Amino acid sequence: MNHRTSASRNTLLAASFLGVLTVVAAGCDIPLYRATETLTDVFATSSKPKVIVETFNGSIDVSNGNDKEVVVEVTKRASGFDQSAADRNLENLEVTMLAENEDEVIIRIKRVGSTVGDCGASVILAVPADASVELKSSNGYIVSEGLRGNLKADTSNAKVDVVEATGNIEVETSNGPILIEAQDAHVHADTSNSGVRFRGTLASGDHQLSTSNGPIDVRLPADSQFRFVAETSNGGVDVEFDYEGEESRRRRKRSGTVGDDPQFSLELETSNSSINLRKDN
């Protein structure tokens, strides 16, 4: 064997391999260095402020805190192929935290320049229990705990958990589950490719839970009285309550009235999965 030829071949193979790695790294934006920064602020507010949060590629976690005070912690992150690139990408994430008066607090995180690699920001808040909150993110979960005011939550590719809540609850995500535990709530919840679960009591009015390719599970007190429509495709509808109404031949759609004095109406819709409407004993 010609050793020079063998060595040249190995050199060419190694160069080709490094070239492939370079292409893969460039195509996937593989982060080698990371930069983070945490910002905090405290705002004096009324006991029922409106709190707006807008971020991206990060989670939002909000819980009840002190009355007449909003506490905010924002952690932004960025990556790059060297530390200076990561630091520059981090500088291109602008954080705005302001309160023009005691009734409204706004937290926004946005890109103000070009970034590569992984970047985004997570937000943690403590707000008055009666605050109304509007939360928007992407590729990050949203958690709300112990709030009595109105809640609007919107994200994608992540879950939404709402616990110990009351009031109006409007939740939307995609490719992630929704879990709501609430009392005397007014609920609209929508996702896709995952499930929706509700447990608690519902206020008078219309309520809607919908998804696709995921189950819906609703648990209400045994003495609840309400109207409902539940429909799926390629799945079944199971209703534990006694009701007067209709059901399709394959039990893919059921509708009717539970009790003599219905207090609210409930619309449940999914596809390729089941719907369960059960008594919470």
What is the pLDDT at residue 19? Answer: 41
Contact, 97 vs 72, CB < 8 A?
yes
What is the pLDDT at residue 252? Answer: 87
- Cβ contacts of 113 within 8 Å, gap of 6 or more: 91, 92
Residue-wise DSSP of 199-251: EEEE-SEEEEEE-SSS-EEEEE-TT--EEEEEE-SSS-EEE-S--EEEE-TTS
Bridge-partner residues for 134, per DSSP?
Answer: 52, 152
Give 81-118 as a 3 state SS string: CCHHHHHHHHHCEEEEEEEEECCEEEEEEEECCCCCCC
Q: Is the dihedral of CA 172, 54, 156, 69 positive or negative?
A: negative
What is the C-alpha to C-alpha distance for residues 255 and 231, in angstroms, rounded to an integer?
A: 8
What is the pLDDT at residue 104? Answer: 97
Contact, 51 vs 98, CB < 8 A?
no
Q: In terms of Cα–Cα distance, which of 121, 202, 120, 210 is closest to 173? A: 210
| Angle CA 152–121–181, to nearest 5 | 35
Contact, 87 vs 35, CB < 8 A?
yes
What is the C-alpha to C-alpha distance for residues 195 and 188, in angstroms, rounded to an integer?
A: 14
* Helices and strands: H and E segment counts in the chain: 2, 21
Q: Could you state, in chain order, the average pLDDT of each consecutive group of 10 residues for the chain (281 residues)?
A: 44 40 40 90 97 98 96 96 93 95 96 85 98 97 97 97 97 97 98 97 98 96 97 92 83 93 97 95 74
What is the pLDDT at residue 22? Answer: 38
What is the pLDDT at residue 100? Answer: 83
Residue with tokens 């292409």: 23
What is the C-alpha to C-alpha distance for residues 63 and 126, in angstroms, rounded to an integer?
A: 5
What is the pLDDT at residue 30? Answer: 54
What is the C-alpha to C-alpha distance for residues 70 and 128, in angstroms, rounded to an integer?
A: 7
What is the pLDDT at residue 249? Answer: 65
Residue with tokens 């991206």: 56
Residue with tokens 């005070």: 69
What is the C-alpha to C-alpha distance for residues 76 and 57, in angstroms, rounded to an integer?
A: 10
What is the C-alpha to C-alpha distance for residues 149 and 51, in angstroms, rounded to an integer?
A: 11
